[in-house]
Amino acid sequence: MKILFYFNSTTLPDTIYKGANTYIGIVNLYLKTYIEKNYFDLAPKLEWALPIQVTLSDDDLVEYIEKEDPDMLCVSYYIWNRTILSQQLKRIKPRISKDILIVAGGPELDVNVNPDFFKEYYFLDYAVYGPGEQAFAQLCECIVEGKEPNPFEMSNIAWHDKSKDETMLAGFKYVPQSKVSPFLENKEVFAEMVKDLRTQDIGIVLTYELTRGCPYSCTFCDWNSGLTNKTTRRKGTWEQEMEMFVDEMGINQFYLADANVGQYQEDLDLLEWMRDKNLNENAEILFDGNLSKLRKENNLKAYHLIGQGSLSMHFVISLQDTNQDILKNIDRPDIGWLEHRRIIREIKPAYPHMPVDVQIIQGLPGQTPDTWRQTLTTVVAEGVVPLIFMSELLATSPAARSAEYHDNFNFKYSTSVRWFDQHQEEFSGKFPESCFSFDREDVITMTLLSCVYTAIAWFRNFSPLNEPFDQEGVVDDFLASENYKWLRKNLTDNWDHRDKYYYTIGFMGEDRISEPLSACTPNGRTASNWCQNSRFLYFVAKNLTSNYHKSKYIKAHLWPQSFVPLDIYGVDATRTKQLSLELAQDEVKPVAEPKGPGFLLTDEEAMVPQNLHRLDEIKRRQQQNKADI
């Protein structure tokens, strides 16, 4: 039986990693290794085609499938590909000449809790939930041996029995993390996959997991698919794996996919190895990932290793909210804001080349516009960038499955489409429209606050002058401004009348219908658009708390050679010169609203400015750290 994986990845913009990259799909390695180690009779009867990694057009996908002639097409569902993948599978299935099976897995499938699953996903033959190794092996065994699948003899899988017109759902079984390395066991296959991406000139980010599962149950999270809190780990393989990835295959960008990196000493050993590789061999290793929630001593050690080796584009602190009551409402195990603040205050001055990003979530139970502003005020005042996410209702998270959560907090969700900044396309999901502590109007207020505080953080990062300003004064001026009224009206109209929750105008009211701006993830084009215009600059200048001359301050930011990001990306020098002349007076006055675009970076550029600085800085600091250690 021939198996073909279609990973349907999209090339990532240069925001977290360097260059055009994609997350290389590796599920096939896990499944193949599991079968080879546990299903000895089955293993030789399976043929594994080279997976398709990136998104193909319908025509190309059909052509590839016809050429490879598989018996089974396997796909993975995530929140970001759910809609486009389903639409594509519906379109291509009737075009494939052979009656192949389509098997899906991934965290976004809620087949175990959704009785109507196969009405929506009628084009799937089988859906795997939770860890899929055993379910996949059992399914392959049935097909190869020509047996009817039996839900009582299987686990973690479901299908629609057409003769009975009902869903067959096998029970859940925990599958521990593989003790053997799927990468080392199937090195040749993996090398082929790497080569395939390289020949397409696509950089690779490798998702690397040592620990499966998370011991916690934060209500918003689907890490465990709401099934178990067990964790298991593969031990003793990381060094051999890393040597193969980095030294033999030249892979140097990783997503460390454990829920709590730093929980184990081995994690710190791994980070130390990476640091030394960067410092001694200039390996340019970069990673992103989630650090341990509670082991603060390890956490701090991990941050230092990251800083010393410049192992990331940024430090990430996973906070969610500063308010303890809200953290309690979401069952968040955490060390609290004060401990996070202590870490920020230690790492920020120690590694000034690396920005600190603090992840927070809008739409949690207990939040109000006041508590949300308080959280934003507290976080942004530390000179960090808030990475704000809208609380998604993930199908298999405790928030979606717990009746108690639902009853206690009385959530109502919106399915209006939103704008995915990175991919520049619409996406849909469920996000909070109201709950016991906020209503629909409050959601809009909180969204506008998210955007303006993120814009302030961006402004602070990019300003060539380190002059202090009253950030609350800037927010108050914004809330009293025409810009606020335009943006609020635009978002409200789009939500109420067009079922879209994003902006179709920019900060200065300019038309962005064909290039919308995200309302729920402002850290990107939205923040760039908001903070880079004369009106925003005016709000900041007005609220300077030092004696710096306000007009000079404005001029310093308007002149391209002074305001570094503008310098990098090129500015309409005539326009900025004219603006700065207008403002070069003792008395600061509002800038006349420019017509046309009110921003200075292009949209593509807006996604990368931090990184261009960061990469140069990272190189410089690597050399400096090498000398320091």
| Contacting residues toward ligand SF4, per CB under 6 A | 214, 216-218, 221, 223, 259, 293
Give the nearer residue to ligand SF4 in terms of CB position, either 204 or 221.
221
Provide the minimum distance between the beta carbon of 325 and ligand SF4 in the complex, in angstroms, as a whole number. Answer: 18
Give the nearer residue to ligand SF4 in terms of CB position, either 74 or 175.
175
User: Which residues, including other chains, have CB under 8 Å from residue 281's CB and lie 6 or more apart?
Assistant: none
Provide the minimum distance between the beta carbon of 219 and ligand SF4 in the complex, in angstroms, as a whole number. Answer: 9
From 361, 357, 358, 373, select the one nearest 330 (Cα to Cα): 361
Q: Which two tokens stand for residue 474?
A: 């800037």
**Spatial distance between the Cα atoms of 403 and 241, rounded to a whole number of angstroms:** 43
Q: Dump strand ranges (E) for 10-114.
A: 21-23, 47-48, 52-54, 72-76, 101-105
Give the nearer residue to ligand SF4 in terms of CB position, either 204 or 330.
330
**Spatial distance between the Cα atoms of 417 and 431, rounded to a whole number of angstroms:** 10
Give the nearer residue to ligand SF4 in terms of CB position, either 389 or 563.
389
Contact status, residue 519 vs residue 487, Cβ threshold 8 Å? no
Q: Dump strand ranges (E) for 274-393.
A: 286-291, 315-320, 356-362, 385-390
Give the nearer residue to ligand SF4 in terms of CB position, either 218 or 591.
218
Provide the minimum distance between the beta carbon of 515 and ligand SF4 in the complex, in angstroms, as a whole number. Answer: 32
Provide the minimum distance between the beta carbon of 204 and ligand SF4 in the complex, in angstroms, as a whole number. Answer: 24
Give the nearer residue to ligand SF4 in terms of CB position, either 261 or 537.
261
Give the nearer residue to ligand SF4 in terms of CB position, either 277 or 293.
293
- What are the helix and strand counts (H, E) for the chain? 25, 23
The DSSP letter of residue 543 is: T
**Spatial distance between the Cα atoms of 255 and 266, rounded to a whole number of angstroms:** 16
Provide the minimum distance between the beta carbon of 540 and ligand SF4 in the complex, in angstroms, as a whole number. Answer: 34
From 72, 76, 35, 40, select the one nearest 175 (Cα to Cα): 35
Contact status, residue 599 vs residue 459, Cβ threshold 8 Å? no
Q: Which two tokens stand for residue 230?
A: 């067990």
Provide the minimum distance between the beta carbon of 259 and ligand SF4 in the complex, in angstroms, as a whole number. Answer: 4
Give the nearer residue to ligand SF4 in terms of CB position, either 300 or 465.
300
Q: What is the CA radius of gyration of the chain?
A: 26
Q: Which two tokens stand for residue 435?
A: 């709950």
Contact status, residue 8 vs residue 22, Cβ threshold 8 Å? no
Angle, nearest 10°, between helix axes 534-542 and 471-479?
A: 130
Give the nearer residue to ligand SF4 in terms of CB position, either 80 or 216.
216
Q: Which two tokens stand for residue 133?
A: 């190794």
Provide the minimum distance between the beta carbon of 320 and ligand SF4 in the complex, in angstroms, as a whole number. Answer: 8
Q: Dump strand ranges (E) for 10-156.
A: 21-23, 47-48, 52-54, 72-76, 101-105, 126-128
Environment class of 52 (CB within 10 Å of its CB; exposed 0-12, middle 13-18, buried 19+)? buried
Give the nearer residue to ligand SF4 in terms of CB position, either 9 or 292.
292
Give the nearer residue to ligand SF4 in terms of CB position, either 253 or 391.
391
Distance of CA 226 to CAs 213, 292, 293, 560, Å? 11, 20, 19, 51
Give the nearer residue to ligand SF4 in terms of CB position, either 260 or 543.
260
Provide the minimum distance between the beta carbon of 294 and ligand SF4 in the complex, in angstroms, as a whole number. Answer: 9
Provide the minimum distance between the beta carbon of 300 and ligand SF4 in the complex, in angstroms, as a whole number. Answer: 18
Count of all residues that appear for the chain in the document: 629
Provide the minimum distance between the beta carbon of 245 and ligand SF4 in the complex, in angstroms, as a whole number. Answer: 24
**Spatial distance between the Cα atoms of 591 and 411, rounded to a whole number of angstroms:** 42
User: At which residue do the structure tokens 């010169």 appear?
Assistant: 577
Provide the minimum distance between the beta carbon of 230 and ligand SF4 in the complex, in angstroms, as a whole number. Answer: 12
Contact status, residue 416 vs residue 500, Cβ threshold 8 Å? yes
Provide the minimum distance between the beta carbon of 3 and ligand SF4 in the complex, in angstroms, as a whole number. Answer: 30
Give the nearer residue to ligand SF4 in terms of CB position, either 220 or 409.
220
Q: Which two tokens stand for residue 10?
A: 């999209």
Q: What is the DSSP string of 192-227?
A: HHHHHHHHTT-EEEEEE-SEES-S---TT--TTTTT
Provide the minimum distance between the beta carbon of 265 and ligand SF4 in the complex, in angstroms, as a whole number. Answer: 19
Give the nearer residue to ligand SF4 in terms of CB position, either 357 or 477.
357
Give the nearer residue to ligand SF4 in terms of CB position, either 36 or 209.
209
Provide the minimum distance between the beta carbon of 398 and ligand SF4 in the complex, in angstroms, as a whole number. Answer: 9
Provide the minimum distance between the beta carbon of 312 and ligand SF4 in the complex, in angstroms, as a whole number. Answer: 18
User: At which residue do the structure tokens 């004219």 appear?
Assistant: 578
**Spatial distance between the Cα atoms of 285 and 278, rounded to a whole number of angstroms:** 6
Which helix (H) or strand (E) element contains residue 444? helix 440-462
Q: Which two tokens stand for residue 536?
A: 């925003």
